[in-house]
Structure 1
Amino acid sequence: MADQFSRQPYIAGAYDDGDENTGWGRDPPSVVTSKAAPVTTTNVIGGRVLARIRPGTEVAGGFFRMCVLTAKALKQPFEWREFIWNGWFLMRVSLLPTIAVSIPETVLLIFTLNLLLAEIGAADVSGAGAAIGAVTQLGPIVTVLVVAGAGGTAICADLGARTIREEIDALEVLGIDPIHRLVLPRVVASTIVAVLLNGLVVAVGLGGGYLFSVYLQNVSSGAYLSTLTALTGLPEVVIAFIKAATFGLIAGLVGCYRGLIVRGGSKGLGTAVNETVVLCFIALFAVNAALTTIGVRFGTGR
């Protein structure tokens, strides 16, 4: 077998006589020579551009892969205990910030709106403005701030600490899927908590608007209540809760992904938490703009 794959050594001058016993025959062995690519401005710029965009594309690819694996994990039995614990945890860290942000935002919105309506003699329709503002904008925006600033960072910090302590690797060694065990319950909990927070913000907005308008700006109570549904109907409410669910889903996915890929110890964990806030804000405000456009297109006031 060794003789079958062995070849005779190169012998100078043995390639023109056709003697098979003195070498490989008439033709000499081909020698592959490689030439270095010329260094041009285009190659340099292209290399720098690729070096710049490669980390971003790798992150986007990893995030998409985690989203696909999370969707596939829905086929397996759901981790209800992990879901309940994380839902309670997210509600606990998000409830007080939601109330603290929604009350001043409501006062500012209703106060400015009532001043404008009083200038044109339409203070009696302040309920319509309060409803459309609280349902379509105030609720989703406050949900964005709280879910990204409190919920997403809490998820990232939790999973990031587990990653640094090598708990994720230990789960994989034991044959436990971290996506199914840790990521999916947190994503579902974040989605549901965001919907509940949106309902809380809308309720606080409408109630605070009523108290502020009736008792501080002398708007008629009956007029305020009767005009609540003038511009706000079922389509606006449905789109508002779709927004909230989408915000919670995105915040949960981003927080989980950044927590799972954290590197560099405590310093890397702090950087990952900060990046989670920035990425969530960018993504959620973009989604809010897109869904608001859809709401205007198919809304009640169209």
Structure 2
Amino acid sequence: MIKVLDAPLKGVGEFFAMTLDTMASFGAIFRQGREFVDQSWFIARVSMLATVLVAIPFTVLVSFTLNILLREIGAADLSGAAAALGAVTQVGPMVTVLIVAGAGATAICADLGARTIREEIDAMEVLGIDPIKRLVVPRVAASTFVALLLNGLVCTIGILGGFLFSVLLQGVNPGAFVDGITLITGLGELVLAEIKAGLFGMLAGLVACYKGLYVRGGPKDVGNAVNETVVFAFMALFVVNTILTAIGVQILNA
């Protein structure tokens, strides 16, 4: 039984060790400004279109479902409040989870995994270059930064999409919709959503860098590491989302 757990426990230990090294070396981001910009653009490029394509169906689904419920209880004028609450507190962070883990993190893992199997990482260490400072820190910082931007984009698409769908297709009064946007969604909810998105981006970046740096074998193993990155990132991010949502509700309602 203990031998069965050796590999998973070793992996958890290596991941936390890399995470601590990354946090301790985060000041290196100021010396890796160009790499940070390049990685931010790289992640944004592979994530932007996917974010828009995923955010629109989520928006339509949430608005359609909530508007039906509000009509049934005679509160259709509150559709703006419902759309804003859904977009900011749930749709934004959840779509960010899907895109950052499914597009950005996999791209990072594939890049670092290819470097690892070509022994570029070993060569850097021989030359005295720390891979954590040179490669991991700018990628984790870029993943966090892009996740914050994507969350803002999804929230904007969510509210605008909810407005268009509700007003044009479900006959909601446009003035009532706009008036209700800030009814129950304010700065606190927006800050909580941005905190979620930032942590999601950081965690996805850490998982991707770990799987990329610790891959062993050949190209097939890099593909397996990319698949594992998606699974592990989704699992971790959904757990973190649940915990942060529970904590945020308690703080905002205190």
Please confirm whether the aligned pair reaches a TM-score higher than 0.5, indicating the same fold.
yes
Provide the rounded CA distance (Å) in 1 between the counterparts of 2:53 and 2:247: 29
Q: Corresponding residue for 1:71?
A: 23
Backbone CA RMSD of aligned residues: 1.0
Equivalent residues in 2 for 1:2-21, closer than 5 Å: none
The aligned amino acid for 1:60 is V
Q: Deviations for 1:250-298, whole angstroms, at most 9, x for unmatched residues?
A: 0000000000011110110011001000000000000000111122212
Cα distance, 1:51 vs. partner?
1.1
Cα distance, 1:234 vs. partner?
1.3
Provide the rounded CA distance (Å) in 2 between the counterparts of 1:138 and 1:244: 11
Q: Mind listing any 5+ residue stretches in structure 1 that lack a counterpart?
A: 1-48
Provide the rounded CA distance (Å) in 2 between the counterparts of 1:277 and 1:299: 31
Larger Rg: 1
TM-score (norm 2): 0.97
Does residue 132 of structure 2 align to residue 179 of structure 1? yes
Higher relative contact order (CA 8 A, sep 6+): 2
Does residue 246 of structure 2 align to residue 246 of structure 1? no
Secondary structure in structure 1 of the residue aligned to 2:202: helix
Provide the rounded CA distance (Å) in 2 between the counterparts of 1:156 and 1:132: 34
Provide the rounded CA distance (Å) in 1 between the counterparts of 2:217 and 2:26: 32
Provide the rounded CA distance (Å) in 1 between the counterparts of 2:138 and 2:58: 31
Provide the rounded CA distance (Å) in 1 between the counterparts of 2:54 and 2:66: 18
Provide the rounded CA distance (Å) in 1 between the counterparts of 2:196 and 2:103: 18
Q: Corresponding residue for 1:261?
A: 214
Does residue 14 of structure 2 align to residue 62 of structure 1? yes
Does residue 45 of structure 2 align to residue 92 of structure 1? yes
Provide the rounded CA distance (Å) in 2 between the counterparts of 1:229 and 1:263: 51
User: What fraction of aligned residue pairs are identical, expressed as a percent?
Assistant: 60
Cα distance, 1:299 vs. partner?
2.5
Q: Corresponding residue for 1:277?
A: 230
Aligned positions, number: 253
Cα distance, 1:74 vs. partner?
2.3
Provide the rounded CA distance (Å) in 2 between the counterparts of 1:127 and 1:200: 18
Match of 1:219 among 159, 172, 177: 172
Equivalent residues in 2 for 1:95-174, closer than 5 Å: 95-174=48-127
* Runs of 4+ with deviation above 2 angstroms: 74-78
TM-score (norm 1): 0.82
Match of 1:237 among 175, 183, 190: 190
The aligned amino acid for 2:137 is L
Q: Is the 8 A contact 1:130 1:228 kept in 2?
A: yes
Secondary structure in structure 2 of the residue aligned to 1:219: coil
Q: Deviations for 1:111-132, whole angstroms, at most 9, x for unmatched residues?
A: 1111111111110000110011
Q: Is the 8 A contact 1:235 1:298 kept in 2?
A: no
Q: Corresponding residue for 2:4?
A: 52
Q: Mind listing any 5+ residue stretches in structure 2 that lack a counterpart?
A: none
Provide the rounded CA distance (Å) in 1 between the counterparts of 2:104 and 2:27: 25
Q: Deviations for 1:223-252, whole angstroms, at most 9, x for unmatched residues?
A: 001111111111111110000000000000
